[in-house]
Amino acid sequence: MKRALTLLLLTAVLAACGAATPLPPTAAPTAEPSTATPTATPAPAAKAGPWWRDTVFYEVFVRSFYDSDDDGVGDLPGLLEKLDYLNDGDPAGGPDLGVTGLWLMPVLTSPSYHGYDVVDYYTVNPDYGTNDDFRQFMDAAHARGMYIIIDLVLNHTSTEHPWFVDSASGPDSERRDWYIWSDEDPGYLGPWGQEVWHPRNGAYYYGLFWSGMPDLNLENPLVTAELEDVARFWLEEMDVDGFRLDAARHYVEDGKIQEHTEATHQWLRDFCTFCQEVEPEMLAVAEVWDTSYAVAQYTTEDVNLAFEFSLAGSILSAVNNGRAGPLASTMREVMRLYPAGEYATFLTNHDQNRVMNQLNRDEDKARLAATLLLTLPGVPFLYYGEEIGMVGAKPDELIRKPMQWTDGPQGGFTEGIPWQPLDRGFEERSVAIQSADAGSLLNHYRALIGLRNAYPALRGLSLTPVESPHQGVYAFLRGGQILVVINLEGQAAADYALQWTDEALASGNYQATSLLAPAEVAPLTVGPGGVVEGYQPLPELPARSALVLALAPAGE
C-alpha cells in the first residue's frame, strides 16, 4: 500500500505526543451545552491488530456529499475538496471529524442514481468523474493515513450490462450461463415474498431484488474469474483497501433456498482468499442483514467483518425506551458469538430511516446513541450526515439527500439545482453552524472519535459488563482503563451503585478523569481480585447523560 511511509510518520508523531494522556474536554455528554473548544482527533497511535480494528469508518454517498461543478450531483472532486472535513491529515490539531476510513457507496458506472445495478465494473460513474479523479482522491486520502473501501456489488448487475444483454439474446448466447435462466417459470417467491423470476424473450431469469437487477450465476467459473479480475483491478490499479460486499447472504441459491447456503459461504471464502493473495491487508466487510447468529457464521472463515444489525437496533431501542437490560443482553450475545471482535457496528445506514427520525429528532438521545456506538467494541461505521443530525425517512431517495454544509442556498452543497431537494430546516443542522457551537452534536462526535483514536482500550476487543440496580443505567469497562456510564432515562439517576470484577485492575485506589466534559468524579477503590462494589462517580447522573472516565492508579 502506497501510504506506508505516511503512516509511519503519523505514528511517530503520535507516539511523541503520548496518546494515552487524557484529552482536553471537547463536547458535553449531557443535555447541558459545553463551552469547551474542539480539539484535533489524531490517527491511531497504537495498533490493536488488523488496521481496521483501529479505524472509524464514514459511509459516503458521493452523489450527495459535495458538488464541485454545480450540476446538482456530488462528485469525486467534490469529495476530495471536502476531505479535510473528514480528516485533515494533521494529528496535532484541527477541526476535522477524525474518521480514519471511508466506505464509498457504489461509484461504478450505473444507469440508476444509487449505483447498485452496475453496467461497467472497470469505470467510475461519469456523474462522479473519471478513473483519474478516483486515483487523485485515493492519493489524497492515503496521504492523510486514511483507508478507503468501496461497495462491490457481486450478486447482480443491471439489465443494461453487456453481459446480460448478450445472455438474454437467446439460449445459444456466449454468456447465457452467466445468469440464471429457466425455460418455465419455477413459480416460487423470494425470501420476503417478492417476485424473483422475470420473463424475457420466452424464458425466465432470476433477479432477487427486482427485474432490473438480474442475479449473476456465481457457480459459473467464468463469472467468478471475471469478478476476481474486477477485484484485482480495484485493489491493484485503483489502490482501494477493501470492499463492502453488498447482499452477501444471497450470492448462491440452492433452488428455493435463497439465502445463507453453504455454496454462498464457500464462494465467499474462495473470493476473499483470492483478494488477500492480491493484497494481504485488504478488508472484506459483508452486508448480511439478519440475526446476530446468522451474521456471525460469515466471520468464522468467509470475511473479515460483517455488520451487526441486531446490536444497532438494540442501541436505538435502549436510547428510545430508557432501559439498559435488553441492550446488555444483546451485547453479551454479540460478545459470545464474535470472540475475535469480527463485527462492524453502526446506528443506521443508507437502507434505513435516519437516526434522528428513529429517535424522534431528540438530540440528547442522538448523543447517547453516538456515545454507545463509539465506546463499545467493534469497528464503527457512521452514515454521512449522522454527525450533524440530518433527518430522512423512506423512500430511499429521502434518506440519501445532499449533505448540509452551510445555512446558505442549497445548504452549500451546490450552486446548481440539487439532484434531491434538501430537507426543510437544514439551516439549523449544518456543518458550519455546528462547528461554531462547542456543545453541538457534531462536536460531540468529534470528541468521541478523538477519544477512540487516542485510547487503545476503546479500540480493543475486551468489555467487562458493569452491574447497576438502576434499570436505566448501562455501564461497562473497556480494557481495564476506560469506564463508560450512561443514564438512558429522561430523569436523573441517584441510586445506581456500580459493581463489577475485572482482574485487569489490581486492588488499590484509582483516580478517575472525565474525558468528555469537565466533572469532579469520585475516586475508585478496587478490592482484592478486581472487585468493585457500590461505586458512584457522581452523586447523581443527569438525565440522558454519559460519563467516559479514564482510570489510573492514584498518584500517577
Can 281 be counted among the known catalytic residues? no
Closest CA to 353 of 401, 395, 295: 395
Residue 481: which residues within 8 A CB-CB, separation 6 or more?
455, 457, 550, 551, 552
92 burial type by CB count under 10 A (0-12 exposed, 13-18 middle, 19+ buried): exposed
Q: Which of 59, 133, 259, 287 is catalytic?
A: 287
- Rounded Cα distance, 401 and 417, in Å: 13
CB of 473 closer than 8 Å to CB of 495: no
Q: Which of 84, 88, 226, 246 is catalytic?
A: 246
Can 259 be counted among the known catalytic residues? no
Q: Tell me how many helices (H) and strands (E) the chain has.
A: 15, 21
Q: At residue 382, what are phi and psi to the nearest 5 degrees?
A: -105, 145
CB of 157 closer than 8 Å to CB of 117: yes
CA atoms 261, 262, 263, 267: torsion sign? positive
Please report where in the chains the cell 486514511 appears, as a residue.
146
Fill in the DSSP letter of residue 233.
Answer: I
- Rounded Cα distance, 360 and 544, in Å: 15
Which amino acid, residue 428?
A: E
Concatenated DSSP letters of 1-45:
-TTHHHHHHHHHHHHHH-TTSPPPP-S-SSSSPP-PPP---PPPS
**What is the 3-class SS of 135-183, one letter each residue?**
HHHHHHHHHCCCEEEEEECCCECCCCCHHHHHHCCCCCCCCHHHECEEC
3-state secondary structure of 29: coil
Cell of 173: 448466447
Q: How many CB atoms lie within 10 A of CB 108?
A: 22
What is the separation of C-alpha 387 from the centre of its chain, rounded to a whole number of angstroms? Answer: 12
- Rounded Cα distance, 141 and 148, in Å: 8
Which residues are part of the catalytic machinery?
Answer: 246, 287
